[in-house]
């Protein structure tokens, strides 16, 4: 048999429910929260809505009481975004982006973007945000920036229009003397620090330090003494032929030109006239098996 206390409790609960003596979750209000968040509220229990940070109470009651009917009254409370005054401009700066609400107002979480006039660099955040307190976050500063006259590079030159002064974001272009290879950015820019960004360097070509040799260059067998008198450029690779004495076969060893330095592989031997006549040059031998 069901205990008397439990039975009475069930009857009481059923009576309350049928009589509508509890209220369920209150209606949600955009951008607002309720001070007491429960699944069930007793009759006569009061709740208070508060607008979220960045929003202010515009209309409708903030307080509601759970009535005997168990149905919350119609909620007409409205929270609207906080507005910010027109932003102040940095000296020598302009606003490059500003999304305005109807009525030309800036509201909570609106973002504006700044840029500086030519010759001025921006210091600080390039954006400002309309904050919950109705103020803008920090506005950046625009400072006049001048760079010293650019200097040249070794074995190279500057392509530029002659000017007396160079300002922020001005740039100069570099080139190299014939057969030298430009490494790094072709352009150097006047930075907000008042100095130039990294300049390129000109890397030297390599003479091939042998009198006679057959080498592989760009996939072709060529003779150094005929076709590579000028050498090769920086970062280019040639392959020297070496001889495997035991197997009587030829194999190649690569060597790269690094800024005027090229090392001939130790296995390479310069051949004399007789060897070239008798075709014992490693370049003429059967290639060794890989």
Give me the number of domains the chain comprises.
4
- In this structure, are 72 and 89 located in the same domain? no
- Examine the fold and report which residue of 57, 80, 103 is the final residue of a domain before the chain moves on: 80
Contacts of 216 (CB under 8 A, 6+ apart): 222, 238, 239, 241, 252
CA distances from 167 to 54, 116, 175 (A): 41, 13, 22
- Examine the fold and report which residue of 144, 171, 189 is the final residue of a domain before the chain moves on: 144
Domain membership flag for residue 209: no
* Residue 212 near residue 219, CB atoms below 8 Å: no
- In this structure, are 10 and 74 located in the same domain? yes
- In this structure, are 99 and 161 located in the same domain? no
- In this structure, are 92 and 140 located in the same domain? yes
- In this structure, are 60 and 88 located in the same domain? no
Q: With 0-12 CB in 10 A as exposed, 13-18 as middle and 19+ as buried, what is 238?
A: buried
Per-residue pLDDT 10s for the chain (290 aa) are 455 545 455 545 545 454 558 999 999 999 999 999 899 999 999 999 999 999 999 999 999 999 999 999 999 999 999 999 999 999 999 998 887 666 678 999 999 999 999 999 999 999 999 999 999 999 999 999 999 999 999 999 998 777 789 999 999 999 999 999 999 999 999 999 999 999 999 999 999 999 999 999 999 999 999 999 999 999 999 999 999 988 889 999 999 999 999 999 999 988 776 555 555 678 888 899 87
Helix (H) or strand (E) holding 277, with range, is helix 273-277
Domain that holds residue 189: 146-203
In this structure, what CATH number is given to the domain that contains residue 251? 2.10.70.10
Q: What is the pTM of this model?
A: 0.68
Domain membership flag for residue 178: yes
- Examine the fold and report which residue of 80, 114, 135 is the final residue of a domain before the chain moves on: 80
Domain membership flag for residue 289: no
């Amino acid at each position: 048999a069901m205990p008397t206390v439990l039975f009475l409790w069930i009857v009481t609960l059923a009576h309350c429910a049928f009589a509508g003596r509890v209220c369920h979750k209150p209606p949600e209000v955009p951008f607002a929260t309720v001070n007491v968040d429960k699944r069930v509220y007793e009759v006569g229990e009061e709740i208070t809505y508060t607008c979220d940070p960045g929003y202010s109470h515009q209309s409708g009651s903030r307080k509601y009481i759970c009535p005997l009917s168990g149905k919350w009254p119609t909620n007409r409370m409205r929270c609207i975004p906080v507005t910010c005054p027109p932003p102040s401009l940095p000296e020598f700066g302009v606003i490059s982006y500003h999304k305005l609400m109807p009525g030309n107002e800036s509201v909570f979480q609106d973002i504006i973007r700044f840029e500086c006039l030519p010759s001025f660099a921006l210091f600080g955040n390039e954006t400002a945000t309309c904050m919950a307190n109705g103020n803008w976050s920090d506005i950046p500063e625009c400072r006049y920036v001048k760079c010293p006259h650019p200097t040249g590079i070794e074995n190279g030159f500057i392509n530029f229009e002659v000017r007396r002064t160079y300002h922020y974001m001005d740039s100069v272009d570099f080139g190299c003397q014939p057969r030298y290879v430009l490494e790094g950015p072709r352009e150097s820019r006047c930075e907000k620090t008042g100095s130039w960004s990294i300049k390129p360097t000109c890397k030297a070509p390599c003479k091939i330090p042998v009198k006679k040799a057959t080498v592989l260059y760009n996939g072709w067998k060529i003779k150094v003494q005929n076709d590579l008198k000028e050498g090769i450029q920086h970062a280019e690779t040639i392959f020297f032929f070496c001889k495997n004495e035991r197997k009587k076969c030829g194999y190649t060893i690569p060597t790269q030109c690094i800024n005027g330095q090229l090392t001939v592989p130790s296995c390479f031997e310069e051949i004399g006239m007789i060897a070239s006549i008798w075709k014992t040059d490693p370049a003429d031998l059967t290639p060794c098996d890989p």
